[in-house]
Homo-oligomer: A and B are copies of this chain.
Amino acid sequence: MRDPASSFFQCTDKERAIFEAGIKLGTIYHQYVGVPLNLSNLESLEIAIRQSALVQPFVEDAEVTIDRDMVSKRQGTYKYLTLSGDMLRVSIKIRYNSVTVTGRLRYVKEMDYPLMYFE
C-alpha cells in the first residue's frame, strides 16, 4: 500500500509499524468496550471486530477472541453483560513496507490489567 501520509513521518519503517499497531489496539478497546453480549453473540462480535480492523491502513491480519469463561461466569440478571477490556484477546499484524509488527492485547493476571504490547 502506498502511503499518502508518508511526508508526515520522519521515522523508520519499524517505528511507523509500531505506531500503527498502537492506534489499532487503542481503537479496538475503546470502540467495542460496552457492547452488550452473552454466549450467543460472541462469535459475530469477534468477526466484526476482526473485519473492521482489517479495513484500517497497514493491517495484514487480525485475530480477536473474547473470553468465553468470563462471559459465562458473569452473565447476570438479564442473562447478558457488556464487553469489558479484560475479556478481549487481540493479535494484529501490521505491515509497513517490508517491516511486520504484531500488536497484542490480553489480560495479564499478575497485573490485573488488559495490557497492550507488541512483538
Residues of A within 8 A of B (CB): 4-5, 8-11, 14-15, 18-27, 29-38, 40-41, 44-45, 47-49, 51-57, 76-80, 82, 84-85, 103, 108, 111-113, 115-119
Which 7 pairs show the lowest CB-CB distances between chains A and B?
A22-B22, A26-B26, A48-B48, A41-B51, A33-B34, A23-B26, A26-B27
Query: Which residues does chain B contribute within 8 Å of A8, judged by CB atoms?
Result: 108, 115, 117
Report whether B44 and A76 are in contact in the complex, using a CB–CB cutoff of 8 Å. Answer: no
Partner of A15, one of B18, B37, B78, B111: B18
Q: Smallest CB–CB gap between A29 and chain B, Å?
A: 7
Partner of A18, one of B19, B54, B57: B19
